[in-house]
Amino acid sequence: MINDQVKKMFEEEKYLSKKIIIEQMILLKLGIKNIGVLTFPQYLYNGEKIAEKIALIYDEKAKEYEENFSFKKLSFTKKRMMKKAVRHKKDILSKIYEDVVYNDESYKRYIEYAEKLKIMGVEYKVRPSLRELVLFADPDVQERVKEILKFRLLNMEQAKEDFDEKTPMKVILYPEELKPEYVQAIGKLYGYPQCCIDAYLKDRAKGNNPEVRGAIQYYEYSKDKKFDEWAYFVSEFVPCRPDCKAAQAVGRKAYQKLIQYDSELGNLYKSYINENAKMFENQSKELKEKIIKMQNQNKKKDKN
């Protein structure tokens, strides 16, 4: 359970996102989900500035390396030299990331939360300067996590052969999201209802964007019916529909567990659910404006 030390840390928290701590760590500890994911440097305090710092240091180191490399290994073939240069630059970037991120105070604070909550973690390298810390509280989950991360790594290597200049950046970073077996496995670990996982898979199979589908559904539902927002129980989750009973049940269960422990924590979580739903509401408003604009344009064309 959440101990008093964690509660005190959370109450005094000024630098880390309380939303991330609740969604990715506390809900994990309460058994609402089997894994949580912290993305670095994005989730750090001043994450954007830290990413810029890493890039700046890398540019300086890479330039220095290129100047020195041109005088070395001249007996290598051009192809071999290029491979060696790319590999070494990745090593440079990895070392810079580790020097900067691992010594960052906000990163250390996340680790402190994990230790006090008795949560374990496995790091996955999306790129040398973009990493995920996959968290789990149940030791029995560890092997499943390692299997999934191994699948991601192998899939990444295979997918590289199909990348070209037209490949979207999200696909380059997360090609595994196009694999049904991965989506099924990771969705279950996240605690997502099966109906919502299936809806996501249908979107991917048709080449549709799940977030856009979610905004369209929110727009359609909000026109003529009322629904509560429990289905939006965590960020970056798209329910199969706004009134999904299974997703609402997860949200209510999480709220009840939190409110029983601490009323302020429960109410704060409820505000985050509203915030998650608000994102889809805002997207649906933008969609509505585009539809109205297109309708007006069509009316003008008809008159002409």
Distances 102 to 36, 93, 224, 257, 291 between C-alpha atoms, Å: 19, 14, 50, 33, 47
Please give the pLDDT value at position 73.
52
What is the distance between the alpha carbons of residues 268 and 288, in angstroms, rounded to a whole number? 30
Please give the pLDDT value at position 177.
85
Please give the pLDDT value at position 194.
98
Q: What are the residue ranges spanned by the domains of the chain? A: 192-304
Please give the pLDDT value at position 250.
98
Please give the pLDDT value at position 75.
53
Residue 98 gets the label, from left (phi > 0), alpha (psi -120 to 50) or beta, of alpha
R_g (Cα) of the chain, nearest Å: 23
Q: Please give the chain's pLDDT, 304 residues, in tens.
A: 678 889 999 999 999 999 999 999 999 999 999 999 999 999 999 999 999 999 999 999 888 877 666 555 555 555 665 666 678 889 999 999 999 999 999 999 999 999 999 999 999 999 999 999 999 999 999 999 999 999 998 988 888 777 777 777 777 788 888 899 999 999 999 999 999 999 999 998 888 889 999 999 998 888 777 778 999 999 999 999 999 999 999 999 999 999 998 899 999 999 999 999 999 988 888 877 776 676 666 666 556 5
Model's pTM, two decimal places? Answer: 0.86
Please give the pLDDT value at position 88.
82
Contact 122, 134 (CB under 8 A): yes
Please give the pLDDT value at position 39.
97
Interaxial angle between packed helices 194-206 and 245-261, expressed in degrees from 0 to 180 and rounded to the nearest 10: 130
Please give the pLDDT value at position 127.
92
